[in-house]
Chains A and B, each alone.
Chain A
C-alpha cells in the first residue's frame, strides 16, 4: 500500500513536471503571444470569422444579407459573423488579437491609432486602390488611416443627427425653422415644459461611455471648439470646452434635459424618444428608421431630422463616428478577408442598405435614385459629413476618453464645477498623452 502511494506521488510529480515543461516550451515571449504574423491563406476559399457590432449602423440582418450576396460571388468562402455590443467591441478585439480568433474586425474611428501602433490590425496600404482615396468621403477615409497608411477599409461614414418631434414643436406654437440653433431649441424646450407637453424635452446619451464624448464633441464643435491644439495637447478647459459643458449642466438644472440622461446610452435615448417622452435628441443615422418603425415606436411619422443645430459661433460640425473594417494581424486567411471587406464596402452593396446607414462613396450622394430612398437622412447627414469634428487620433485615446468621461460626469452630477472638472481632465489627460 505504501509502495503504491509513493508510486502515485511519483506519478503525480512526473505529470506535473511534464505539463509545466510543455507549457514553458510553448511560450516564446513575456506575453505568451505566438510570434507568427498570420498568413494570406487562399483568396477564394476558407472561413472568414468577422466581428461586428449590435448597435446603430447596419443591422444583423443587413450583414447577413451582405454575406449572402458575397457568397454568390465567392461560394467557397464561409463567413461566420459575431455581433457584440459597441461597448464590448474594443476589448473583444484586443483580447482576441493574440489567438487570431477573428479575421475581420470592425473598428471605430477612434481606434486606428491604437490598433495600428500596437500591431493589432494589418497594414493594407498596398492593397488599397488609389481611386478609393478620391471616390470615398474624406471623413470616412480617416477611420482606416494612421500616419499616412491604411489599416482597413472604411465601411460607413457616421455622425449624430438632430431628431425632433415635429408634432410637439407645433403644439408648443413653434415651427421647424426655430430649431436652427441650440438657443432656438432651448426656447422651444422651455415652452414645451411650461405647457406640459413633455416633462423633459431633451434626452442625451450621457452615461459614462464613449457615447457621452460623442454628444460632447458635437456641442464642443457648435461652440467653435476643438479637443486638441496643434501640439496635440488637450485644450477643453478653455473657452468653448467649458462653455459646452456649462451649457449641458445648465440644461439639466433648468429641467429641460432629462436628468436620467447620465445613465443613457444611444439606445435608451432612442427608446425615450420613441415612447414620446422626449422631443429632441442627438443620435446616429439609423435612428430615423427606428423611430418610424411601428413595432418599436409610438411616434411614427412625427419625427423630423436635421443636421446638428448651430452654436453661438454659427457652426454645426457633426462628430465623426465613421467605422472601418480591418484585418486582424494574426488572421490566417487575409486574402479571403480582404475580398470580403472590399465586397461589403463596395458602392453597389452599400447602396442597398441606405436606411441603416449612408454609403462611403461620394457618387452615391449625387445619385438621386439613391438619395430619394432616404431623403431626410441624406440631406441632414451631408452637412455633418462635410464639416466634422474629430476626437483625438492618438494611440492611448481610450485612456484620454475615460478621463474626459469621468470629469464631464463629475460636472453633470454637480460634484465639480465645469471649469474645475475640465481643468482636472486636461491635466490628467495631458499626463497620459505625454507618456
Chain B
C-alpha cells in the first residue's frame, strides 16, 4: 500500500509516456502499410518515369529526363486511348447517373417489402469486377452467348451479332457491363440524398398542385445536388481509371477499340517491358485526375448546397 502511494507521482509521467509508446505501436502498422503500398510506390514510379527502364530486372537504367513524357504525349496511340477513355468516362457516368436516379426514386417509393428490393439491387455492386466482366463476356459471346440466344429466340434478330467484334460496339458493351455493376452504388448515394429531403416540402408542393415533373425539377433535383456532385466526382475518377473490366472482357480489342488509357499504360509497362514509359503514363493519368478533382471541388465549393 505504501509502495503504491510513494510511486504515484512518477506513475503519472510513465503513464503519459506509455500512452505515447502505445500510440507509436498503434500507429506503426498503419504507417508502414500506407508507406509501403501508397507513398513508396508513388515516389518510386515518379523516379522511374525519368529513366529508361526496359526490363523488370534492368541494371542499366540511363536517366532520360522528361523524354518518356514527351514520347507519350507525341504518340498517336496515347491520344487515341485518351479519346476512348473520355468517351468511356462521359457515357458510363451519364448512364449510371440516369439509371441510378430512376432506381433511387423507385427504391424511395413506399413499396411493400422495400427492404428486399434494396437488398436485391445492391447485389451487382457486391460482385467483384473480374467476375462481372467474365459474366458479361459470356453473355455477349457471339457464338454461344445468352444475349444472342435470347434475341434470336424472341425473333428480334435472325443473325448472331458479334457484340464484342466491332471496335465501337464493343466499347459500348463494356460500358453497359460497367454500368450494370456501378449503377447500384450511384442509386444508393442518391437514395441517401432522397431520404434526407423533408417530406413536408413534397406535401406543400402537392397542395399547390405542382406536376410530377415540376416537383422533380424544382425540389428533388436541386436538393440532390450534393449527392449528385459526390457521385460525379467518384464515378468520373473511377471510370477514367477503368482497367480490370477491360482486361477481363476484351483485352483492349478488337482493333484497339476498347483500349483505354489505363490498359494502354499496362501494355506499355508489362507487355512491352517499357517501365519508364509506363510510369510516365501513370503520372499523366494522375495529373489528369488531379485536375478533374480540383475542378470538381471548386465547383462544389461554389455551390451553396454543397456538403464538402
Q: A-side interface residues toward B, CB under 8 Å?
A: 3-4, 7-8, 11-12, 14-16, 19-20, 23, 27, 29-33, 35, 87, 90-91, 94-95, 97-98, 114, 118-120, 207-209, 258-260, 262-264, 268, 271-272, 275, 277, 329-330, 396, 398-399, 402, 405-406, 409-410, 413, 415
Contacts and interface: CB of A to CB of B under 8 A. Distances in A.
A95 B271 contact: no
B174 interface: no
A406 B271 CA distance: 15
Interface string B265-296: 00100111101000000000000000000000
B56 A94 contact: yes
Contact of A11 (B20, B39, B55, B59): B20
A260 B159 CA distance: 11
A12 B31 contact: yes
Nearest to B17: A7
B54 A118 contact: yes
A275 B272 CA distance: 37
Contact of B59 (A8, A35, A207, A399): A35
B28 A15 contact: yes
B163 to A, nearest CB: 8
Given A33-B57, A260-B142, 12 more contacts: A11-B23, A12-B31, A16-B31, A29-B58, A29-B59, A30-B47, A30-B53, A118-B54, A208-B256, A258-B143, A263-B164, A271-B143
Interface in B239-283: 251-256, 267, 270-273, 275
B27 A12 contact: yes
A262 B252 CA distance: 13
Contacts of A27: 44
Cβ-closest 3 pairs across A and B = A208-B253, A260-B142, A118-B55
A16 B27 CA distance: 9
B24 A14 contact: yes
Interface in B50-98: 51, 53-59, 61
Which of B31, B48, B141, B144 has the most A CB atoms < 10 Å from its CB? B31
B35 interface: yes
B195 interface: no
B56 A31 contact: yes
Interface residues of B, number: 47
A120 B273 CA distance: 11
B253 A118 contact: no
24 contacts: A7-B16, A7-B20, A7-B23, A15-B24, A16-B35, A29-B58, A31-B48, A31-B55, A94-B273, A95-B56, A114-B273, A118-B54, A118-B55, A118-B57, A119-B57, A120-B55, A120-B56, A209-B251, A209-B253, A260-B142, A398-B271, A398-B272, A406-B255, A406-B256
B19, B28, B40, B55: most-surrounded residue (chain A CB, <10 A) = B55
Nearest to A88: B247
Contacts of B166: 413
Contact of A119 (B28, B31, B55): B55
B193 interface: no
A271 B145 CA distance: 12
Given A262-B162, A409-B254, A31 B24 contact: no
Kindly name the residue among A207, A262, A272 whose own CB sees the greatest number of chain B CB atoms within 10 A: A262
Nearest to B258: A208
B32 interface: yes
Interface string B162-197: 101111000000000000000000000000000000
Question: Which of A3, A33, A271 has the most chain B CB atoms inside 10 A of its CB?
Answer: A33
A15 B51 CA distance: 30
Contacts of A3: 16
B58 A30 contact: yes
Contacts of B142: 260, 263
B88 to A, nearest CB: 17
A364 to B, nearest CB: 35
A260 B165 contact: yes
A414 to B, nearest CB: 10
B36 interface: yes
A151 B165 CA distance: 38
A254 B96 CA distance: 40
A208 B252 contact: yes
B160 interface: yes
B255 A415 contact: yes
B56 A409 contact: no
Given A11-B20, A33-B57, A94 B270 contact: yes
A259 B162 contact: yes
B280 to A, nearest CB: 13
A15 B47 CA distance: 23
A31 B144 contact: no
Contacts of B162: 259-260, 262-263
B160 A260 contact: yes
Interface centre among B59, B255, B270 (most CB of A within 10 A): B255
A19 B56 contact: no
Contacts of B59: 29, 35, 119
B165 A259 contact: yes
A19 B254 contact: no
B275 A31 contact: yes
B117 to A, nearest CB: 36
B61 A30 contact: yes
